[in-house]
Structure 1
Amino acid sequence: MSVGPTPDVSEADSVVMDVGSADPGFLVHADPARVQALLDEAPGPTGRLTAAVYRESAHLHRDADARVRRDLLALDAARYGARELAARITSVPLPGDGGHDWKVAWATGSETSPRLLATLTGHEEGLSAVATATTRDGRALAVTGGYGESSVRAWDLATGEQVQVWSPLAEDVWVLTTTELDGRPVVVTGTYGNTIQVSDLAGGQPIGRVDTVPFPGILSGPDSLPEGMWYPGGIYLNSLACAVLDGRPVVVSTVQTDDSDTDVCQDFPVAAVHDLETGRHVNSIPTGHTGAVHLATTMLEGRPVLVTGSSGDTEARLWDLATGRPVGEPLTGHTEGLSVMATTTLDGRPVAVTGSYDGTVRRWDLGTRKPIGEVLTGRTRRWVADLDVTMLDGRPVVCAILDGGAVCVWDLATGCPVVEPFTARDAGALAATVVEGRPVAVTAMEDGTVRLWDLSPQPPAGTPVGGHFGTVRSTAITEVAGALVALTGCANGEVHRWDLTTGQPDGTPLVMDAESEVAVHAVATATVNEHPTAVIVGRRSVPWGAPSGTVRRWDLNTGEPVGAALVGIPQALTVATTVLDGRPVAVTGGFDDGYSGELRRWDLATGHQIGDPLAGHDGFVQAVAITMLDGEPVAVSGGQDRTVRVWDLRTGRQIGAPLTGHSGRVEAVAAAAVSGRSVALSGGEDGTVRMWDLADGAELLPALTGHTGTVTVLATGLVNGRPVAVSGGDDRTVRLWDLITGAEMGVPLTFPESIGALAVAPAGLVVCFGFEVAFLTGPISPSRCDQMSLGERAW
């Protein structure tokens, strides 16, 4: 199977068929569609590796210039563990290079997978729904839509071609499914506003009458829910399933509302059955569930049966679709609510497959209402976001995506894993099918792309270093036992340690709290009792308004926590460290119980808070840095109120007036010494970087512009002895700025995803993007200005 058009291969092109000996300049310069088509046919392990590397960011190559393509290809090669290929790609000369200063020393490959076949682009917003269908001429199609999209798109999975686009009622599509009507494939969509529409898959045209009355507005059946039910807010379709009842096609649906003050799922446990052709209301089945109700249909003993489960209870239940009566006893075994379900057959028996918030997948024989085999679990205990069943070598397999993006595939009969789990980060929905004899999974992604994955057993391409299973939001560098170590913290509550030279993990991850969900927001380092120490800020997933901040200290020599968590932190988001009167001190930023911004000072040896909180920001404190001003340690903070503020760390008083100029929230701050002045750098939502004189609050340079999105992170260092700032943004670029002239230095470095964190290391940069960490060697070095003597770094 080749995704995309196959070009004619001339004799001159034949050399690139052996990609192991090919000039990497071909990968950088040639038309991406032409390169991809050739690589798809490339033989041998080297060919498969090069093809996998190219596919990783192929959706970005199409619109990129050669310089950006070179950055992405070199980085992706390093993510696959192919450092020699990364070096060859980096060495490809480009006009005006003047020497390429940055090289990828190593990178993690948490999100890479040689199973990625294609990334399809066309949607502009996040996707939440995907289904598959087969046309009359045998083509396998995927249909996608999302809550941020009013368009539905159909894709030919063999070629990657977008074959249809339409907009059901110009409303967001929350759920969709496919079925047949009069022998032709159709798409059934459920939208915000509680409307179901049926469209011809071949032409995208609506079929039949669609009722648009808002309450309930399900086809033409305003009687589809029991009389007297009240809709307290906007409503949307939560689940759809199709079946045949008494020879007529029907659709079964459940709804939710978006009223945050009402637990509406308890109010709407009813599954409504409608005739798919006429919209006529056929039946309403009061399922008795609490929470969001999920649906699947099948045949049991010659009768159509509805299978239901919900987020609010742990049972799956069976219902006669014609009478609405329960069939047998509920299916019990899950320990938390159900999140998704599917039905299929196994050796001629009807089977249900259920996924749960308890992180497990279970199989059920619907004839006996008994479980089949052992419980299926992934590599991490994450809730099951979606699942589907397809065929592999004549046997049914279950394909499930867990929250966080881990895709697992099991043999339905034996429960044995079919392939090693791989990552499809931020997948909103999944469907499985067979394309030209190959089993594939199709994922609808939150970034608006549609991705196609190979589920057939095959040798792996490359040896990527695994890493995080969550977005990496923070990094810091220190020295442990004579070696430089990078610390990276992520949304799944882990802080990983990396040998900066080799890129290999340095010990096991530091886990904030194994019993509850704690996302790591910030990491800093200090020396406490002569031990290198990590100071980690995290936030628990708790009801809004409850204290959720937690700050932990870890001895990096032993990998063990130091003392108890620092207490008294309502909401903590950021941290920096310094030395105050000979004591190691941490300064945390966040907000108090009234959602006003504040900073707090902590004695890292004792864990006690120093003095009162530093209050003044109107809104969250997003970032903090520490430097020296007139020989005294000061904190620089940036906040949601669009201001930068400076604080005397001894007295807790604000120094001078707030520094204003940003037109959006301030996301990042850093400090440096420039021409003998102590300065602060700030970056934020308006895409600018600004430099401030800490002595008088003056803005020293015109705003530094170049980023096309929010500046998310800042750091400072030296290049050839000149002070520089390094900025990263959600435009996927890292930029270098001369702090004397304000000029941008060189060309931006481009990454596959938004920049979550960065840190300056000796002769290089640690850059975190998505789930990944990379170390790039280059001309930069840490600054030796005043802030570097404060104990923030240990080298």
Structure 2
Amino acid sequence: MSGDLRSGGQGDEQALADEQLTDPAFLVTADPDEVMALTAVASRPAARLAAAVYRASAHAHGDADAAARRQILAVDAARFGDRELSDRIAAIEIPDVPAVRWRVEWASGSQVHPGFRGFLDSLRGGWPPPVVAVDGRPTTITLDDNTMSLMDPATGQELAKAALTTSARGEETTAVVDGRPLRVSCAGPDLLPRILDASTGELLGVLPGSGKSGSKIASVESVVIGGSPCVIAQDVWLTLVVWDLSTRKLIGELRTEGDDLSSWAVVTLDGRPHVVTGSYYGKVEVWDLATCERVGSEQGDDRDLQLMVPAMIGGRPHVLTAGRDRHVGQPLSTTGVWSVDPLQRIDRLPVGVNKVATATLGDRCYAFTNDSAVWELSPAAPVGNRTPGHSATVAAVATIVLDGRPVAVTGSHDETMRVWDLGTGRPVGPPLFADPDETNNEYDGVTGVRAAVVDGHPYVVAEHSDGYGPTVRVWDLATYAELTGDSWPTEISESMIDDIQLVPEETRLSVNGRTCAVTISPDPELERSAISFRDLDTGQEIDDTPFGPMSAFATGTVGGRVVAVVASGRRVRLWDSAGAPATVTDEFVFPGPVDTVAVTPEGRLVIGFGRDLAVLSRR
């Protein structure tokens, strides 16, 4: 059944899979291999959502115990926008394990997608293997010789296969004219499009020149137009040129509206060949190759669309795109998914790419990004309600009250800051970013954030890295505008970011009438750190406990008690410093490494991990 894939599985086995996947206790306690196999055949919306939640951090489930898996799944359910499922997962009882005391109020979903299926590369330990369904049965994916194969994991039998399509096109292509195999090559030093006999290499001619380039060609691809073998080529002046190989005549030229062609892909629309072009300024255009006329144009959000790959989803042509952020000019950490008819961006995959391949089986498309991650794209209705956020690591967070509501301000390596309503989890206002025309793209990202109210007016102070050292920038949160140095309020200075540093040497707290110092002592040789609580009035050490290399630290008040929040890798510990010795009262596990933490005045925890943000509150 090569090239044929059916959803299948409407019988008892698939109904049982849906029933198990919608049982939170099964997700938390069952063997991860068993759960992963069932995720491939989920059919009902609730089961498909649960499957997506499980796959989001499947790489962590294999080695995790049930308690850690419960926490990770609760966060991932919130990342997909289902707080009710998050609560149900957190409520699962585990023998000899304390009940969860913290609720995931909400989380952003920048780094999750229902189409994610797993990783192919062995660098990630080979687990989870990408699993998809053929005739209602779970199968694994292998790639070999530009072919995707779906294999029965039990027998090793190949059940389906499909050819891979990429953006790769080079200096040569092949075609058959009147039964004679030909090569069209622009590999010579003069870049002219030569026609050669594919068997003997005999030169048969040169395609006629056109436009400014005079036929100097950079890349070429064969295509059939109206039954005739043709070639489409990009010349050195960023124009697409189309020739009929039977007549060796020029059919036409395609020039983007801004004369700024960056990428292109040939697709079939309603049985006719078309080409989709991407431009430097982010415009996507569609051209009918039979007439060489533009039939569609849409301005995208991204810039410099340097990569475009065709994909068939639900029997309709689509393209995947990669480019740069329009605000700050950095390469995107997402991949755009565009439908060709109607021409519009319909989705984003949360992965930055420099290489993509696609394969089509039935109504589904499989995308392979950077030879690693596998994504299944189908016309089925999407599941979950993800809130997008940053496109790179969340490196800093601060809290403030804005217009009477508590908000968090996050800074990221994507060079932007975002404001979040802590109650709803929704973004407030537009992203804050430095104008790339003014900064010349010198900033590497936001490394620290502090929010402050001066004379009743809210401001945020951000620390940026420019490769030479920290640079301070100030934003007015009432207008979302950046202030120049001479317009800063007098109370704002670089001293306002003294508490931004990732690992403060010492933080002083007032605990039960005592002055307590919290000290972090890193040990680079052992890659470990120690946190100590010392009574400054008596000099007595309250506690000294080693843990892994620390990645984030914050202090605050939770339930009327002063706490220290310490992150190391994917784990976060909450220390109650009111006792002697100080104790760890809560420990959390997150889907990815934690890079920033904060405690709000109301006692919520704000955790930044990867590109996402989660807010937790005591039950």
TM-score, normalised by the number of residues in structure 1: 0.58
Residue deviations 1:454-493 (CA, integer Å, cap 9, x gap): 231x333232333334443221111224432111123444
SS of the aligned residue for 1:745 comes to strand
> Deviation of residue 77 (structure 1)?
0.9
Paired amino acid for 1:28: V
Residue deviations 1:596-655 (CA, integer Å, cap 9, x gap): xxxxx58xxxxxxxxxxxxxxxxxxxxx744xxxxxxxxx96xxxxxxxxxxxxxxxxxx
Distance 1:564 1:539, change over 3 A: same
> Deviation of residue 758 (structure 1)?
2.0
Aligned 1:300-319 pairs, distance under 5 A: 302-308=228-234, 314-317=238-241
Q: Determine the structure 2 residue equivalent to 1:646.
A: none
Contact 2:233 2:241 in 1 (8 A): yes
Q: Determine the structure 1 residue equivalent to 2:307.
A: 386
**Partner Cα distance (1:307, 1:163) in 2:** 42
> Deviation of residue 706 (structure 1)?
2.4
> Deviation of residue 335 (structure 1)?
3.3
Paired amino acid for 1:156: S
The alignment's C-alpha RMSD in Å is 5.3
Distance 1:32 1:299, change over 3 A: same
Distance 1:154 1:533, change over 3 A: same
SS of the aligned residue for 1:55 comes to helix
Contact 1:492 1:520 in 2 (8 A): yes
Contact 2:230 2:244 in 1 (8 A): yes
Q: 1:497 aligns with which of 413, 416, 419?
A: 419
Aligned 1:446-465 pairs, distance under 5 A: 449-456=372-379, 458-465=380-387
Residue deviations 1:546-591 (CA, integer Å, cap 9, x gap): xx976443333x2343632579xxxxxxxxx9xxxx963433xxxx
1:243 aligns with 2:174: yes
Distance 1:31 1:463, change over 3 A: same
1:766 aligns with 2:601: no
**Partner Cα distance (2:519, 2:165) in 1:** 55
> Deviation of residue 525 (structure 1)?
1.2
Q: Determine the structure 1 residue equivalent to 2:67.
A: 67
Contact 2:222 2:231 in 1 (8 A): yes
Distance 1:367 1:163, change over 3 A: farther
1:510 aligns with 2:510: no
Q: Determine the structure 2 residue equivalent to 1:100.
A: 100
Distance 1:140 1:99, change over 3 A: closer
Contact 2:256 2:277 in 1 (8 A): no
Paired amino acid for 1:485: V
Aligned 1:566-585 pairs, distance under 5 A: 584-585=491-492
**Partner Cα distance (1:755, 1:321) in 2:** 58
SS of the aligned residue for 2:547 comes to coil
Contact 2:17 2:41 in 1 (8 A): no
Q: Determine the structure 1 residue equivalent to 2:364.
A: 439
Q: 1:563 aligns with which of 483, 493, 497?
A: 483
Aligned 1:354-433 pairs, distance under 5 A: 354-371=277-294, 373-378=295-300, 380-392=301-313, 394-403=315-324, 404-412=332-340, 414-417=341-344, 420-433=346-359
1:750 aligns with 2:589: yes
Aligned 1:116-195 pairs, distance under 5 A: 116=115, 118-124=117-123, 143=143, 155-157=148-150
Between 675-684 and 352-361, the greater mean CA deviation after superposition: 675-684
> Deviation of residue 75 (structure 1)?
0.8
**Partner Cα distance (1:706, 1:101) in 2:** 24
> Deviation of residue 522 (structure 1)?
2.7
Residue deviations 1:135-174 (CA, integer Å, cap 9, x gap): xxxx997748xxxxxxx9975357799989xxxxxxxxxx
**Partner Cα distance (2:197, 2:580) in 1:** 70
Q: Determine the structure 1 residue equivalent to 2:402.
A: 480
Q: 2:571 aligns with which of 733, 738, 743?
A: 733
> Deviation of residue 499 (structure 1)?
2.1
**Partner Cα distance (2:193, 2:58) in 1:** 42
Distance 1:294 1:33, change over 3 A: farther
**Partner Cα distance (2:102, 2:192) in 1:** 59
Q: 1:704 aligns with which of 546, 560, 580?
A: 546
Residue deviations 1:664-720 (CA, integer Å, cap 9, x gap): xxx64364227746455366987433569999xx9x88783325xxx4433234678
SS of the aligned residue for 1:73 comes to helix
Q: Determine the structure 2 residue equivalent to 1:586.
A: 493
Paired amino acid for 2:491: P
Contact 2:104 2:617 in 1 (8 A): yes
Paired amino acid for 1:333: T
**Partner Cα distance (1:766, 1:551) in 2:** 23
SS of the aligned residue for 1:422 comes to strand
Aligned 1:665-676 pairs, distance under 5 A: 668-669=503-504, 671-673=506-508, 676=515
Distance 1:27 1:276, change over 3 A: farther
Between 486-495 and 683-692, the greater mean CA deviation after superposition: 683-692
SS of the aligned residue for 1:78 comes to helix
Contact 2:597 2:607 in 1 (8 A): yes
Query: How many residues matched?
Result: 569
Q: Which runs of 5+ in 1 are unaligned?
A: 127-138, 145-151, 165-183, 191-236, 256-266, 568-576, 588-600, 603-623, 627-635, 638-666, 780-795
SS of the aligned residue for 2:303 comes to coil
Paired amino acid for 1:732: R
Contact 1:334 1:358 in 2 (8 A): no
Distance 1:562 1:40, change over 3 A: closer
Paired amino acid for 1:455: S
Between 527-536 and 338-347, the greater mean CA deviation after superposition: 338-347
**Partner Cα distance (1:735, 1:271) in 2:** 65
Contact 2:165 2:358 in 1 (8 A): no
Q: Determine the structure 1 residue equivalent to 2:135.
A: none
Distance 1:153 1:71, change over 3 A: farther
Residue deviations 1:223-259 (CA, integer Å, cap 9, x gap): xxxxxxxxxxxxxx9957653467558697989xxxx
**Partner Cα distance (2:102, 2:184) in 1:** 57
Distance 1:294 1:487, change over 3 A: farther
Distance 1:553 1:18, change over 3 A: same
Contact 1:303 1:320 in 2 (8 A): yes
Paired amino acid for 1:771: R
**Partner Cα distance (1:400, 1:586) in 2:** 42
SS of the aligned residue for 1:28 comes to helix
Contact 1:141 1:154 in 2 (8 A): no
Paired amino acid for 2:570: R
> Deviation of residue 118 (structure 1)?
1.4
Percent identical among aligned pairs is 28
**Partner Cα distance (1:549, 1:295) in 2:** 47
Residue deviations 1:487-521 (CA, integer Å, cap 9, x gap): 11234444222222332333443344386766434
SS of the aligned residue for 1:425 comes to coil
Distance 1:19 1:720, change over 3 A: same
Distance 1:363 1:506, change over 3 A: closer
Which structure has more relative contact order (CA 8 Å, sep 6+)? It is 2
Q: Determine the structure 2 residue equivalent to 1:24.
A: 24
**Partner Cα distance (1:53, 1:302) in 2:** 48
TM-score, normalised by the number of residues in structure 2: 0.73
**Partner Cα distance (2:195, 2:575) in 1:** 62
Q: Determine the structure 1 residue equivalent to 2:615.
A: 775
Q: Determine the structure 2 residue equivalent to 1:176.
A: none
**Partner Cα distance (2:528, 2:284) in 1:** 47
Q: Determine the structure 1 residue equivalent to 2:81.
A: 81
**Partner Cα distance (1:442, 1:54) in 2:** 20
